[in-house]
Structure 1
Amino acid sequence: METAMPSARPNAPTPRLRRLRPVAMLAVLALVLGACKTDLYTKLSEREANEMVALLLDKGITASRVGAKDGTSSVQVEDGRFAQAVEVLKAGGYPRQSFTNMGEVFKGGGLIASPTEERARYVYALSEELSKTISSIDGVLSARIHVVLPKNDLLKQDATPSSASVFIRHDQEAPLKTLLPQIKMLVANSIEGLSYEKVSVVFVPVDRSQNAGAALAAPAQAAA
């Protein structure tokens, strides 16, 4: 009568393998979570990216800032919250406007510009610089300045005065209208031949909390 041989038992995991298992699981989990994120905006300054991440986190949307080798930053969110995150940031005035400075406008292009082209460049650069300055005021979401510098004849007695129109879109909680005299003075003092009375300013208040709330509520309504 043959005696049955006992079946071979699998080797039990060593203590070292048992310690490595949680580490491996965490690594896999990190890869999975990382694969579920996508770039929302790229080529941002570190400050703006941090502000955008803070706003998204405040609204319950998981977001993170990722630095790039060129010194810029990206904002990443989960794939499923991409559209929602865009709407929340849009309501908050992000991403901020980008402006062209004087040096970039008058960068040498190899061709000699006509006086008319040089004047157009100057007016554009001036508008960009002033728009950038006003956009840096707390509470301003966006700003545009349109400058008119008439080409007056030196022999003409009744010269057409310069003028400027300022459009400011701002958070309704920010008391921007109290700064109206300072804003008009800033623009008038920055443009030759422009008087305080020839600067017009339009304020457009925006309820950022309501717009952000609508963006957050939209997915829930769609699901219902």
Structure 2
Amino acid sequence: MSNLQNLVKSLGPVRLAVLGVVGAILFGFFAVIAANYSGEPKALLFSDVNVSDASKMVEALDQMKVDYTLKGDGTKIYVPESQALRLRMQLAEKGLPAGGTVGYEIFDNADALGTTSFIQNINHLRALEGELARTIASIDGISSARVHLVLPERELFSRDKRDPTASIVLKLATRALSGQQVKSIQYLVSSAVEGLTPGHVSIVDERGTLLATGMGDDGQAMITATAEERRIAYERRLRGHVENIVGRVVGAGGARVEVTAQMDMTRVVKTSDLYDPDGQVVRSTQTVEDTSSSQNGKQNDGVTVGNNLPNANQTGAGDGATSRDAANRTEETVNYEISRTQRTETKEPGRVERVSVAVLVDGTYTTAADGTKTYQPRSPEELAKIATLVKSAIGFDEKRGDKVEVVNLQFAAPKTVEAASATAPAPEGGMWGLSKADLMRIGEMAMIALLALVAMFFVLRPLIARLGFVKVAPSSADAQLALADGTETPVAAIAGPTGEGENVSFEGNEHLTEDMMIDIAQVAGKVKQSSVRKIGELVNNHPDESLSILRTWLHEPA
């Protein structure tokens, strides 16, 4: 207890205040670390939520009395790991996160009796836009979407009808969308809105890049895009064929192939009718026969009683001359059917007009006895054979204007593994395959360990050294006299930089050897007895200088 009191008195008020402040800072630091790491670990509840959804979710968590943490400017919400799944289901039951849009839930609490038809139409439009935005945002590569629909109403007694249109703004999670994905979004929206065609759906991304015009001409653009994809696939297929066959000759990696195909992107529809005059066939035959006869004679045209009597004409038939006329007519109509061929020919875009192939092959290498490699170019005969193989692989057509070039050049030496690793970019997640959160946690633990070591060596160790058992050394004058006489050697007093005496006890000189190791208080390890003897001899031979050094040590601040 007396040692502790002496220590406190020797420190002084200033040092005590500094130690108190340092102790308070260390205590607060370790308390914060203990509070952060002693509790339950937290898991990510939702990320990339907008401000409106985040405020509603925070309000719901406050009502449920759940401990949460906001990070990333409020776009990330962390909750205790054991409650994450349950909280997701509870928030989903409340329609959170809604993605900043309103869907058909707008009609859940609506008063149908007190709502006008105009408000109903507006709410229906908002709900349709919100549902489409949610559906589009669920596509891979899209983080959020905003949809605007224009559904014109047909005016009364009006013949003109305007088509509906749609505009979509996408926030992409990736760099860009493929043409097929853009078309799928157009067809998705047009199928959900009555009367909307894919050509009237315009799409832009958050950077203002136009993905679809929406001016009604996207049909031809889609056909062109399909033809372009066909060209790329055709070039890739030919390149694979050439690399496969040439690689068997020059070895793997010994050839580079580039294929360029020129295609006709126009679409042609041709209709033709062909008639064959030699292929006559009787279709129908019509025959008409007409027979007629007539008799002419002299008749008594007088009006008499005899002419009016029955059989008057027979009795008077011989009175005048008579003549007979007969006519026969036969008409035949034959209808022939001529052979007819009707042909409709449609030429789709993507007809190959010309193919150009460039093949770069490496030479051969010979290894000398010392390990050096010597490059040797390939012979023209070998290059000609390779060109023949390439022509056969691509279906070479000279009339079409195809061209094949095979060139032999030495390839550049590949980079070494060390150079490639030095120039390779670091992974996005962090160094050594660790995420940023793992690196931050490792840094915090390293800082804690460093502070613990500093506190141990610069705070705890001096305190323990001062509170240890220390013998009172004899005065410097007595020590000097004892050394001068050489009669007392049981105790050797050695003054350190702090002014305190360090006592070394000896049983007797006769029991010590020059190389015997002895212990000295507050000195780590052991010291040779011969070294202590030499110090005693120096003090004995130079008492004044030794006394001055001891006084200087005693007056040095602790």
TM-score normalized by structure 2?
A: 0.23
Counterpart position of 1:8: none
Counterpart position of 1:105: 106
Structure 2: gaps of 5 or more residues: 1-30, 50-60, 77-96, 209-428, 431-435, 437-558
Question: 177, 186, 189: which is aligned to 1:187?
Answer: 189
Q: Which has more strand, going by share of residues? A: 2
Is 2:142–2:174's contact at 8 Å kept on the other side of the alignment? no
Question: 35, 43, 46: which is aligned to 1:32?
Answer: 35
The CA deviation at 1:172 is: 3.6
Distance 1:34 1:156, change over 3 A: farther
Distance 1:153 1:88, change over 3 A: closer
Distance 1:149 1:35, change over 3 A: farther
Is 2:147–2:168's contact at 8 Å kept on the other side of the alignment? yes
The CA deviation at 1:134 is: 0.5
Alignment deviations for residues 5-51 of structure 1 (CA, whole Å, 9 cap, x no partner): xxxxxxxxxxxxxxxxxxxxxxx777621699xx9xxxx9x5x35x9
Q: For residue 102 of structure 2, what is the amino acid of its counterpart?
A: T
Measured in 1, the distance between the counterparts of 2:119 and 2:32 equals: 58
Measured in 2, the distance between the counterparts of 1:75 and 1:179 equals: 38
Alignment deviations for residues 142-174 of structure 1 (CA, whole Å, 9 cap, x no partner): 210001111112532111111100111103435
Is 2:141–2:173's contact at 8 Å kept on the other side of the alignment? yes
The CA deviation at 1:97 is: 2.2
Measured in 2, the distance between the counterparts of 1:134 and 1:196 equals: 15
Matches within 5 A, 1:116-131: 116-131=118-133
Matches within 5 A, 1:136-151: 136-151=138-153
Q: Secondary structure at the match of 1:127?
A: helix
Distance 1:127 1:176, change over 3 A: farther
The CA deviation at 1:197 is: 1.3
Measured in 1, the distance between the counterparts of 2:166 and 2:145 equals: 13
The CA deviation at 1:114 is: 1.2
Is 1:184–1:199's contact at 8 Å kept on the other side of the alignment? yes
Q: Secondary structure at the match of 2:35?
A: helix
Q: Which has the higher contact order (CA 8 A, sep 6+)?
A: 1
Is 1:172–1:205's contact at 8 Å kept on the other side of the alignment? no
Distance 1:175 1:87, change over 3 A: farther
Q: Give the % identical residues.
A: 26
Alignment deviations for residues 159-213 of structure 1 (CA, whole Å, 9 cap, x no partner): 111110011110343535430111000000000111111111112369xxxxx99
Q: For residue 180 of structure 2, what is the amino acid of its counterpart?
A: T
Counterpart position of 1:163: 165
Counterpart position of 1:7: none
Q: For residue 179 of structure 1, what is the amino acid of its counterpart?
A: Q
Question: 192, 202, 205: which is aligned to 1:200?
Answer: 202
- Over the aligned positions, Cα root-mean-square deviation in angstroms equals 4.3
Distance 1:169 1:122, change over 3 A: same
Measured in 1, the distance between the counterparts of 2:179 and 2:161 equals: 32
Equivalenced residue count is 147
Q: For residue 76 of structure 1, what is the amino acid of its counterpart?
A: T
Measured in 1, the distance between the counterparts of 2:143 and 2:154 equals: 35
Counterpart position of 2:73: 86
TM-score normalized by structure 1?
A: 0.52
Is 1:96–1:142's contact at 8 Å kept on the other side of the alignment? no
Alignment deviations for residues 43-96 of structure 1 (CA, whole Å, 9 cap, x no partner): x9x5x35x99xxxxxxxxxxxxxxx6999x87636xxxx5xx33896xxxxx88
Q: For residue 200 of structure 2, what is the amino acid of its counterpart?
A: K
User: Is 1:76 matched up with 2:40?
Assistant: no
Structure 1: gaps of 5 or more residues: 1-27, 53-67, 90-94, 207-211, 217-224
Q: Secondary structure at the match of 1:142?
A: strand
Measured in 2, the distance between the counterparts of 1:88 and 1:117 equals: 33
Question: 160, 172, 175: which is aligned to 1:173?
Answer: 175
Distance 1:99 1:138, change over 3 A: same
Is 2:103–2:129's contact at 8 Å kept on the other side of the alignment? no
Is 1:127–1:147's contact at 8 Å kept on the other side of the alignment? yes
Is 1:168–1:202's contact at 8 Å kept on the other side of the alignment? yes
Q: For the pair shown, which has the larger CA radius of gyration, 1 or 2?
A: 2
Q: Secondary structure at the match of 2:206?
A: strand
Is 1:169–1:203's contact at 8 Å kept on the other side of the alignment? yes
Q: For residue 118 of structure 1, what is the amino acid of its counterpart?
A: Q
Distance 1:33 1:182, change over 3 A: same
Is 2:137–2:144's contact at 8 Å kept on the other side of the alignment? yes
Instruction: Name segments (4+ residues, structure 1) moved above 4 Å.
Output: 28-31, 68-71
Q: Secondary structure at the match of 1:99?
A: coil
Is 1:166–1:202's contact at 8 Å kept on the other side of the alignment? yes
